[in-house]
Amino acid sequence: MANRPPLRMGWFIPTLGDTTAFGDPEKEIPQSMEHFLRVAKAAEKAGFEYALIPINPYCWDAWVVGSFLAANTKKLKMLLALKPGFIHPVAQAKMISTFDQLSNGRLALNLIVGASEKDAFKEGQTQSKEERYQQLAEEVALLKRLWLEENVHVEGNYYQVRGPMIQPRPYQQPHPPFFLGGGSDLAAEISAENSSIHLFWGDYPEKIQSEIASLRKRAAKYGRENEIQFSMRLQVICRENERDAWDFADQLIANADDEWRKTVANMAEASVAQKRVRDIAKSTGRLMTPHMWTGITEVRPGAGIAVVGNPEQVANQLTEFLKAGCSGFCLSGYPHHEEAERFGKLVMPLLKRCYKALK
């Protein structure tokens, strides 16, 4: 593909806690600002462009963590999860533009409805996933108008506004970019209309290629087929020696007991993206390709598919997704500060070279 967009790399902030062995309390790294900042600084130094800060009932609050990290880093952008119905769009529009101004445009918004109905209850939400997507669509449309127009009047299904005032205006014009992570039809439609970057969880490169083609087709309805870009949200386990990477992978999940595995298997019951990850693990077992491993999906919902190997093997596997049409990755690995540092030193230069070499 001619004129590929720049390679955009993100790293995950583990606001849910960190570990080097699931199920072993002694290996846990508890949630703390000290640890989040250590991870953010390692990611920044390693050359990652943005930090993904998740949202769910067990994570520390994304907006507060993001503000703290933005104030204590220099270049790293914050990709903050935006969930519908959490914060009224008038307050949210002002929060976002203030954050954007204070950080000189180091903000992007990850549109997320949440992977689980049970979690939605824990966060004070009672609507179904479909209703949350409808609310998200209305909310994003309203936010865009609030940042651009004066005297907005809207009588929507979820929000009614009568001329609110938004000051300041965003630093990034017309507004900070949207990302979206979700696998359903509704997710695809909202992403096609709004996302700068659509995020996929781990899958086969051929499947990603066909998903990209279908999302671009949808985006064409909005005149955005060349605007929308694609990125993979993956785990990475890289060691200089491949054997060490696999040893770490095995011990990372070895201590998780059956009860926890059963709990994880029933999490995120309403998510199409989660169902796809589960189906892959069920149909292929732990090894999808010689360097793609589903082991973490047994102990963690969501982004559990990992690229495992030595630096060259990891870079080559990631390059398969670049060939499929992605232009970046949002990665994580355990413990997050060490894997970020290692990736920056050992894989990032190889990956940049591979991306540059693609025609």
**Contacting residues toward ligand FMN, per CB under 6 A:** 54-56, 81, 112-115, 129, 181-184, 187, 199, 201, 233, 270-273, 302
CB of 194 vs ligand FMN, minimal distance in Å? 14
Contact 80, 53 (CB under 8 A): yes
199 vs 245, which CB is nearer to ligand FMN? 199
The crossing angle, in degrees rounded to 10, of helices 89-102 and 129-148 is: 60
- Three-class secondary structure of residue 4 per DSSP: coil
For 34-78, the DSSP string reads: HHHHHHHHHHHHHT-SEEEE--STTSPPHHHHHHHHHHT-SSPEE
104 vs 126, which CB is nearer to ligand FMN? 126
CB of 149 vs ligand FMN, minimal distance in Å? 29
CB of 350 vs ligand FMN, minimal distance in Å? 24
CB of 296 vs ligand FMN, minimal distance in Å? 14
CB of 321 vs ligand FMN, minimal distance in Å? 13
CB of 167 vs ligand FMN, minimal distance in Å? 29
Q: What stretches of the chain show up as alpha helix (H) in DSSP?
A: 33-46, 62-71, 89-102, 117-122, 129-148, 185-194, 205-220, 242-254, 258-265, 272-284, 311-323, 336-342, 348-357
104 vs 263, which CB is nearer to ligand FMN? 263
Reading the block at residue 209, the tokens are 């290629």
CA angle centred on 134, ends 133 and 135, rounded to 5°: 90
The DSSP call for residue 222 is T
Instruction: In whole angstroms, give the CA distance from residue 182 to residue 175.
Output: 22
CB of 144 vs ligand FMN, minimal distance in Å? 21
CB-closest chain residue to ligand FMN: 181
80 vs 256, which CB is nearer to ligand FMN? 80
161 vs 299, which CB is nearer to ligand FMN? 299
83 vs 175, which CB is nearer to ligand FMN? 83
Least Cα distance to 269 among 233, 301, 305, 306 occurs for: 301
152 vs 197, which CB is nearer to ligand FMN? 197
**Radius of gyration of the chain from Cα atoms?**
20
